[in-house]
Structure 1
Amino acid sequence: MQISQLRQTTVLVVDGSEADCQKLHQILDPRVQLEEAKSGSEALSIVNRSFVDLILLSSKLPDMNGFELLRKLRHDTRFRDLPVIVMTHEQTQKAEAAVVMAGGFDIIRKPFVPIIVVKKVEQVLELEYLHRNLKKEVHRQTRLAEDRLASSERLFEETVMALAKTIDAKDAYTRGHSQRVARYARHIAFKLGWLEEEQRKIYFMGILHDIGKIGVPESIINKTARLTDEEYNKIKQHTVIGSEILELVAEFPELSIGARSHHERYDGKGYPDGFAGSQIPVYARVIAVADAYDAMTSKRSYRGVLPQDVVRGEIAKGRGTQFDPQFADVMLQIIDEDEEYILHER
């Protein structure tokens, strides 16, 4: 702490002894700004209207015991951390213990030894300065980190949305498919009582579940006639391609799960790995139901939107074979609650 900074600090001397106050002025006046109170009530009035860095408090005051004033200060949240050095004629360890127990920072014995007064006051003010500025720096760095994180999250979300639109633009009949699947998957997760962070994760997995279609020719994606076996195998590769792309996102290792495994079936007859039951990652099992719902409730090149009762029937029929029964049941509940069949239109 520099001398110029020390001189800007305010020390309040609370002592009914005129002689002791004069002595402290002689010792400290060149170094700090001093204020003076002759009683406890006057001291309380000063700290309530003015900022004080340190209090030098006599253990004996005309209107109250110094420890009584110290307790009053500590009971007020505004002054709980205000450093107080108690000044006393007591020379015992018991007196030191009493100061500590009452919330005093240190003790200065009377009659004063100038060099001890100076050193103790400077040490306390130095610590207070460092503590105050450390809190400010921690707050500043925390705000910077929060701002960087928010900026990074916005960039991530914007990038994800741009990729989703790029994917959906390849198929003239499924525009918005990725966002709808993400929304349905998050709704299922919400119904299951998943934490907000887990809902957020599955939402982004849903948005990017078809990213591998970037590697599939548009002529195959938009083909209205029946696909050949070779073309179908190329379509199936979008799960592997998508997984390989998203595995590069080190900060979100789960992101590739939805892309790779959303076409796995609960009975083990899906692709690309032929996983069954709990072998299939839980996020992918949710996305599989959401993906199937959107496939049936979206207009395709070869048909229109299926009626709600047909969609419900297909989800129910796939329960335990194509879909995890738990997540199929939640989707069925969502369908039943959607009496006007408006969910797919949002």
Structure 2
Amino acid sequence: MIPQIIVVDDDPIILKGAWNTLTGAGLKVVALKSGKALLEHTKDNPEPDLILMDISMPEMDGFEVIKELKKSDSGWKDVPVIFLTANEDEDAETKGLSLGAMDFIRKPFVASVLVLRVKHAVELVRLQRDLESMVYEKTRENENLFIHVVESLADAIDAKDNYTNGHSGRVAIYSKEIAKKYGYDEKRQEKIFMMGLLHDVGKIGVPDEVINKPGRLVDEEFARIKKHPSIGGKILGNIQEMPELAAGAKWHHERYDGKGYPQGLSGDDIPEEARIIAVADAYDAMTSNRSYRGALPQEVVRSEIEKGKGSQFDPKFADIMLKMIDEDKEYHMRDNPCDS
């Protein structure tokens, strides 16, 4: 189905430019000149996939419009909104996000960037909705089928990275083993296994050329990589049947000392499952070939885990991983994690 985008802006030049750009990219576009026109449009028309809306408009600004949309009892309250703005006002951005906006795009926009941002946004929203529907239906039918669906999705995420095939599966297995050794019951072990499988789901929103870039990332590229936990948390956050799934995706890059991202949580404020996944993720990252280096020797991996105790990692989970490494005399765990 061709995505439908609504563009709302009182500037006819911006409106025409956005319409030409997006229709030229094969998208269906409705152009509206005001927030009031948008609210009127909602009464007799189906919801679009995405709304691009200016903030500064006469009569009703973008903030007022999004408030009205969120009050609606129709499906329009769930339509994602990206604000268009010519200002670099952090307060305005904070306010927009707090009101439920998905993102901001600066004006004047670059045509190619606008198309990419819109397509990524639509892809993320559809993935979130598909996941929510799929999980609800499949969990009711058969929990085993749900696990297979999650594994397939994890494989799809891993496929974005040419160098980390199987990464999500290995992290899931290491996380489950750490949880088992820590004393989780079988049900909690299965939950953390699924959290590990989906911990990198947010990478669906990161361009392939950034993920697969050989060599060091520039600051702007690294900033895009750092968005994947928040994206993953947003994608998984509406799966009501397993709300904990979002925790692994959103917080696996937090550090025990509070210097991680996206929120700078520290210590026990980081969900326990995310602290476990963080250790498992780091181990697999070091023991796998990456675009910028080969797998590290086992003694280097052990040293890095040891060095990260209390700073990057929760010490108790780092100690469990260190014991697993010490028991892996031949350095086989990275190739056969199921045997760990």
CA deviation after TM superposition for structure 1 residue 222, in Å = 0.3
Match of 1:181 in 2: 171
CA deviation after TM superposition for structure 1 residue 300, in Å = 1.1
Q: 1:205-251: CA deviations, max 9, x gaps?
A: 00000000000000000001221111111101000000000012110
Match of 1:63 in 2: none
Match of 1:260 in 2: 250
1:310 and 2:300 matched:
yes
CA deviation after TM superposition for structure 1 residue 150, in Å = 7.8
Aligned mate of 1:161, from 121, 138, 151: 151
Cα separation, 2, equivalents of 1:207 and 1:218: 20
Cα separation, 2, equivalents of 1:309 and 1:150: 46
In the alignment of these two chains, the number of paired residues is 199
Match of 1:191 in 2: 181
SS at match of 2:254: coil
Cα separation, 1, equivalents of 2:252 and 2:331: 25
Cα separation, 2, equivalents of 1:260 and 1:172: 23
Q: 1:120-156: CA deviations, max 9, x gaps?
A: xxxxxxxxxxxxxxxxxxxxxxxxxxxx968421231
Instruction: Classify 1:230/1:248 alpha carbon distance in 2 versus 1 (closer, same or farther; 3 Å).
Output: same
Aligned mate of 2:160, from 170, 173, 182: 170
Q: Which structure ranks higher in relative contact order (CA pairs < 8 Å, sequence separation ≥ 6)?
A: 2
Q: 1:6-58: CA deviations, max 9, x gaps?
A: xxxxxxxxxxxxxxxxxxxxxxxxxxxxxxxxxxxxxxxxxxxxxxxxxxxxx
Aligned mate of 2:228, from 238, 243, 246: 238
Structure with higher Rg: it is: 1
Aligned mate of 1:203, from 193, 218, 232: 193
Cα separation, 1, equivalents of 2:183 and 2:216: 41
Hey, which bits of structure 1, 4+ residues long, moved more than 2 A? 148-152
CA deviation after TM superposition for structure 1 residue 340, in Å = 1.0
Where do 5+ consecutive residues of structure 2 fail to align?
1-137
CA deviation after TM superposition for structure 1 residue 174, in Å = 0.2
Cα separation, 2, equivalents of 1:150 and 1:196: 20
CA deviation after TM superposition for structure 1 residue 200, in Å = 0.5
Where do 5+ consecutive residues of structure 1 fail to align?
1-147
- 1:276-315 matches, within 5 Å, as 276-315=266-305
Q: Which one-letter code corresponds to 2:154 in the other structure?
A: A
Aligned mate of 1:343, from 317, 333, 336: 333
Q: 1:63-119: CA deviations, max 9, x gaps?
A: xxxxxxxxxxxxxxxxxxxxxxxxxxxxxxxxxxxxxxxxxxxxxxxxxxxxxxxxx
Contact 2:215 2:291 (8 Å CA) reproduced: no
TM-score between the two structures when normalised by the length of structure 2? 0.57
Q: Which one-letter code corresponds to 2:248 in the other structure?
A: G
Aligned mate of 2:209, from 214, 219, 224: 219
CA deviation after TM superposition for structure 1 residue 274, in Å = 0.1
Aligned mate of 2:318, from 328, 337, 341: 328
- Root mean square deviation of aligned Cα: 1.2
* Identity in percent: 60
Cα separation, 1, equivalents of 2:322 and 2:145: 35
1:250 and 2:271 matched:
no
Instruction: Classify 1:149/1:279 alpha carbon distance in 2 versus 1 (closer, same or farther; 3 Å).
Output: closer
SS at match of 1:345: coil
